[in-house]
Amino acid sequence: MINHAVMGVFDAFDTAQQARAALLADGFGADALELKVHDDEAGPVEGNFLVGNTPVESEEHVYERNYARPVQRGQCMLMVNAADAATAARASAILAGFGARDPDRLSGAPP
């Protein structure tokens, strides 16, 4: 029976995959790990994908320059189902080592 769940939020899928690999290497079973990627069809939550980098259209309007560097935020969630508090703490430390953010802290939920 699973008593504890730990979740980490990542901006980059590659980083989430690395954290998952580290958890597996540390002895966590694949059945205890769940990696979800949430992609928004509306586009990045931060960036310039609608208006571009330059306010004025011109012949010099180049797509790569004007729509560069959109940022996806919090797309990847890695959940670890742990059987006890010590295992959950171990998972939290591994996730933190890869820069995972706590979704409760992101939402402003009380601890």
- State both tokens at 24: 């597996």
Task: Give the residue numbers spanning the domain of 31.
Answer: 1-39+73-111
Q: What is the pTM of this model?
A: 0.66
CATH of the domain at 100: 3.30.70
Our count of domains for the chain comes to 1
- State both tokens at 101: 């953010």
84-110 tens-digit pLDDT = 999 999 999 999 999 998 776 655 555
63: number of CA atoms within 13 Å, CB side? 0
d(CA 5, CA 84): 9
> Is position 20 within any domain?
yes
40-59 tens-digit pLDDT = 555 545 454 455 545 555 55
> Is position 111 within any domain?
yes
> Is position 58 within any domain?
no
